[in-house]
Chains A and B, each alone.
Chain A
Amino acid sequence: MMTRRDMLQRTSLGFGSVALTSMLHGENPLAARRSHFRPRAKRVIFLFMKGGPAHMDTFEYKPLLQRDHGKPLPFAKPKVTFAATGNLLASPWKFKKYGQCGHQVSELFPNVARHVDDICFLHGVHGTNPAHGGALLKLHTGADNFVRPSMGAWVSYGLGTENANLPAFVTICPTLAHGGVNNWGSAFLPAHYAGTPIGNASIKAKDAKVHHIKNPKWTPGQQRAQLDFLKQLNHDHLGGVPNPILESRINSFELAFRMQTAMPEIQDIRGETGATRKLYGLDNAVTEDFGRQCLMARRFAERGVRFVQVSHSDSKVQWDQHGNLRKGHTEKASEVDKPISGLLHDLKARGLLDDTLVVWSGEFGRTPTVQGSGMDGRDHNPWGFTMWMAGGGVKGGFSFGATDDYGFYAERDKMHIHDVHATILHLLGIDHEQLTYRYSGRDFRLTDVFGNVAKEILT
């Protein structure tokens, strides 16, 4: 009999064939792998707010900004900005202290606010690119001028999936603009590490599906008969000579057949109770769509998918209020506040929050200075903004870092996007410097040559 080691030696495709070989042995090529050290989180749910929510209007209260409304910014703006802005614009929303930690949250997020004691706020995050496309790519792949594997692809490369019938990385209703597929692609990593998109941002969550997951013509019984016939053809073709490449192809049809059942089962939320649906806001037209995305995220997480991304992005650039800030941010927040709160509550109730890391972020924040003559807009701000995490090994009721008095630049305990990536990997038990992939003669990593783990936020 051929041993696993023999098989490895007999394949000629290098790394990819390790996956093939596992498949041949009836395993998933994405079989769960050991982390570098004890993980604090086993999986990630990334709630992406496309367009850039303003931190000073949501989670980082800035008293001096309120006081100095209408005055000029007392220090220089960056040399290169996306658009021109004027004087300081106070937040139109009131802030209130919540929880034991007393963190201040604006009236835009009354429901999420109830969870502040489970949330770790990162107020000193900063990126590099002030345009949507570049910032999205930076956030999702660590690079804005080259095509690089996405964060989720690195995680599935590093850890695999815990469920043999599912991909390790799914992205629910992602946007195709501003980097599109590259934001969940595998670039030079083997293709099975790429995110599996479920619908896209132009499709309602209830209609979102994985490509080609449903057969348009045959009944399951007919398709089974057809695949059995195909198996006979393939076995004849093998002619009794073991061949890992051909045999893994045979097995891939079996995995595909199982996926056909597994995927729709997860998306079918009919079995959820009325209370759960209400928790996520499925009973309300405003929150229904994002609520369904969040509920699906929980169902994927529950079944062992490593990295689930949820995008708040329909056919517009959701949070991008260069003007109409009051109306826009109110609308956007009302769509996500309840569902996110529901997700946190549900994860906690099910004991999943302990080893699930929830990350909330836009591609950047917004300027404290006003854009436009209507005194009702803010420009992109990658120089300082807020991201938050909850669960999976981060301190709850904790704030780390801050922007300056007005919210323009990250100032204290700064975390660059690379640091955020290093920290997320760390929480998953991965050393970001060790998770490398050799491509075109060079070892690549998610954090390039950068990245420091924010040890202060770990439990």
Chain B
Amino acid sequence: MKMTARMLVFLLVATALSAADKIDLAKGQKHWAFQPVKKPALPTVKNKAWVKTPIDQFILARLEKAGLQPAPAAAPRDLQRRIHYALRGLPPVPNSKIVDLKSEIKIQMATPQYGERWARHWLDVVRYADSNGLDENAAHANAWRYRDYVVTSFNADKPFDQFVIEQIAGDLLPTKGEAARREQRIATGFLSLGPKVLAEPDKMKMEMDIIDEQIDTLGKALLGLTLGCARCHDHKFDPIPTADYYALAGIFKSTKTMDSLKTIAKWHEHSFATPAHKKLKEKHEALIATQKKVVNAFTAKANQQLLVELKLEKLPTNPEGKYSKTNQVELAKLNSTLKRLEADVYVLPSAMGVEDGNATNLPIFVRGNHERPGEIQPRHFPRALSDGKPISDKVSGRLELAQWIANRNNPLTARVMVNRVWRWHFGRGLVTTPDNFGKLGVKPSHPELLDWLAAWFVENGWSVKKLNALILNSATFQMSSMPNAAALEIDPTNVLMSRAPLRRMEAEPLRDSLLQISGQLDLKVGGTIWTFENYKLVFNHTSEDATTYNSNRRAIYLPVIRNHVYDLFELFDFPDPGTVNGNRADTTIAPQSLYLMNSPLVHRTCATMAKQLLAEKKLNNTERVEWLYVKVYNRKPTANESKRAVAFVNEFCQERQASWQALCQALVSSNEFLYLK
């Protein structure tokens, strides 16, 4: 090959750049999160009586060192509410009380609603959505199978390491029967659910962008590492050289995510069609064909009649209009049957997911530009965290990658997961950047506790249910959220956990609670309520929204449409479903209040409750107020509250039901309902 002067300059520059960019791996490896997890000894504390679990010892030791005491135990009613929302995302049954806390926690975790609540947390992390978003918003009409897989996994308390392996490489695992094989392949939807630029004309760029999204998601979700940062240059802060990025990218290049890159590109789906399914589809198609024949035969006959009756040589344009009344009616009937058959398409079952392609290695693309290939990188895992040995040329390396991540010796996986669980219970992680454990992430507030939990989690079979029980049974979790003066002074931001956090209900528990207290919530588990043709654009050039959210099923089953998330979700801090997010925001904005004041959902809910309330003919107004307080707050009103509420209803307006609806709306808009103390 002849080298031009320009190429030479380019090579020189590239070499100089890569020399300047060299990362000091040994130095980078010293970062706390890359150190092996060592289970620390439990610290000693003075106030031994307070301690219920080892967690409490870590928390209390720090508090005592700062001269603080933990907040008193939460009021039983507040604690009951907190536990119900933590485990099921739903309010307690009105008039119920917790008798035995330990067994109550167990009971809650055994309900199917537990899996739904915890699946939703995980879906935040894996940027779950029912449409592609980005440029061409194609429907992920089969994404729900992955969602069901996640719900089932949490309900079954699938060991987290196994859960991780299945999501990266379930299709490559040995199978134990058809059902398991199917589940494992559905699990790989994890890699396929990301937003893709489906109309990217540069196909190589499209492919590299998809791979980048997979690496970015995998890194943040499972390892707390921003691996995607190393695409264009060595990672600026963490020991991830560009070479390691392309070594990982090779694994995904060796994986088949897409079926077609032609605009609009199509992702791959695993087919689960059995011969029986195929037969049913054929049968349905045969029915359509037959009906078409019937219609054609009828038209031919009717046309013939027309020619004879009107004594014509040639058929007029639009002959149907000239048919006899009976013929017209008959034809319309036949056509409507045909339409119905055609509309009722028989869809063969399939699920988004990946499988192995041809094992290949990628070159480094200089500055992330695929038109500037550099040196070929054998596939391997990041060298700062592994031996960096090349993966065999015979496999994609995906299964090996999964096993490396889900290994008990990987310093990040367990730490990242226990921190996520902690974050979901307390509103803030021990590491406050749950998706970034790298140098730019925030250091843990309680490093020993984090390590102790990570080690305990692995020892206990990576069981999320056990971890949840451990946390919920702790005195730390059971504290009141009321700060005392000393705590406000010394621990103003509650980093030391001197009290429980005050938290607003997230979007889904808020919506589910509204339906629950008005007796409308449908607790059916699994499946899909959204029927939309797979790959079809949810928004094409029109901006008309064909998606509705009127179902009474739990919020987790409502479609998540990227680029146009359900307004209730959008307003109440549902995370952007296009990116990994283990740390939902908790904002207070005026449009949330507009929603509570004016939205159809809130009005419908309160109207339903008012109707139910007035249907209780035997109740007087005071008793009605009590009924309402018990439903909404799970407590009886004080005499004063009762008097005030009755007065409000009497004065609000002439129409009784409207007045009760207005009262009900005030209660569900109140802080006592919206916040968990």
Question: A residues bordering B, Cβ < 8 Å?
Answer: 9-13, 16, 19-20, 23, 29, 80-82, 129-134, 136-137, 144-147, 174-182, 185, 187-188, 190-192, 196, 200-202, 211-218, 222-223, 225-227, 229-230, 232-234, 236-238, 241, 243, 245-246, 248-250, 252-253, 255-257, 259-260, 313, 315-317, 440-442
Contacts and interface: CB of A to CB of B under 8 A. Distances in A.
Nearest to B573: A191
Contacts of A441: 226, 237, 433, 436, 438-442
B135 A176 contact: no
Nearest to A136: B135
A212 B578 contact: no
Interface stretch (B6-14, B158-166, B534-542): B534-542
Contacts of A182: 133-134, 563, 578
B597 A255 contact: no
B135 A178 contact: yes
B226 A137 contact: no
A133 B134 contact: yes
Interface in B486-542: 488, 492-494, 501-502, 504, 537, 539-542
B41 interface: no
A12 B226 contact: no
18 contacts: A29-B589, A80-B205, A129-B200, A144-B134, A145-B134, A147-B579, A177-B541, A180-B564, A190-B585, A212-B567, A216-B603, A226-B666, A230-B666, A233-B666, A233-B671, A233-B672, A236-B641, A441-B433
A37 to B, nearest CB: 28
A66 B31 CA distance: 64
Given A9-B492, A175-B543, A246 B598 contact: no
A132 B436 contact: no
Contact of A181 (B542, B565, B599): B565
A131 B563 contact: no
B357 interface: no
B288 interface: no
A23 B571 CA distance: 18
B348 interface: no
A252 B590 contact: yes
Interface in B430-484: 433, 435-436, 438-442, 482
B599 A202 contact: no
B653 interface: yes
B253 interface: no
B601 to A, nearest CB: 10
Contacts, number: 237
A144 B135 contact: yes
Contact of B564 (A137, A176, A253): A176
Which 3 pairs, one residue from A and one from B, show the smallest C-beta to C-beta distance?
Answer: A133-B135, A180-B563, A441-B440
B199 A180 contact: no
A176 B545 contact: yes
Is the contact region of chain B dominated by helix, strand, or loop, or is it mixed?
loop
B488 A259 contact: no
Interface in B564-582: 564-565, 567, 570-571, 573, 576, 578-579
B213 to A, nearest CB: 8
B644 interface: yes
A131 B662 contact: no
A151 to B, nearest CB: 17
Contact of B594 (A129, A229, A259, A313): A259
Nearest to B579: A147
A178 B652 CA distance: 47
For A23, A129, A227, the residue with the greatest tally of chain B CB atoms inside 10 Å of its CB is: A129
A255 B590 contact: yes
Contacts of B136: 133, 178
B202 interface: yes
A184 to B, nearest CB: 11
Contact of A440 (B195, B226, B544, B599): B226
For B229, B543, B588, the residue with the greatest tally of chain A CB atoms inside 10 Å of its CB is: B588
Interface of B: 133-137, 195, 197, 199-202, 205, 209, 212-213, 220, 226, 229, 237, 263, 428, 433, 435-436, 438-442, 482, 488, 492-494, 501-502, 504, 537, 539-545, 563-565, 567, 570-571, 573, 576, 578-579, 585-600, 603, 641, 644, 648, 651-653, 658, 661-663, 665-667, 669-672, 674-675
Contacts of B537: 177
A23 B588 CA distance: 9
A177 B137 contact: yes
B671 A10 contact: no
A33 B593 CA distance: 24
Contact of B597 (A202, A223, A238): A223
B197 A145 contact: yes
Contacts of A144: 134-135, 197
A243 B502 contact: yes
B197 A133 contact: yes
A222 B591 contact: no
Contact of A226 (B585, B652, B674): B652
A20 B588 contact: yes
A211 B539 contact: no
Contact of A134 (B135, B502, B542, B571): B135
A82 B200 CA distance: 8
Contacts of B488: 10
B544 A315 contact: yes
Contacts of A177: 137, 537, 539-543
B587 A191 contact: yes
Contacts of B598: 212-216, 260
Given A29-B589, A256-B594, 16 more contacts: A80-B202, A137-B135, A177-B539, A180-B137, A180-B543, A216-B600, A217-B661, A226-B652, A233-B672, A237-B671, A249-B593, A253-B593, A253-B669, A440-B433, A441-B237, A441-B442
Contacts of A200: 543
A132 B671 CA distance: 44
A188 B435 CA distance: 13
Nearest to A311: B543
Contacts of A146: 579
Contact of B658 (A29, A192, A217, A229): A217
Given A10-B488, A226-B652, A441-B226, A130 B603 contact: no
A191 to B, nearest CB: 5
Contacts of A257: 593, 597
Contacts of B597: 212, 215, 223, 227, 253, 256-257, 260
B666 A212 contact: no
Given A144-B135, A182-B563, A237-B670, A81 B201 contact: yes
B670 A230 contact: yes
A23 B593 CA distance: 14
Contact of A317 (B220, B541, B565): B541
A179 B134 contact: yes
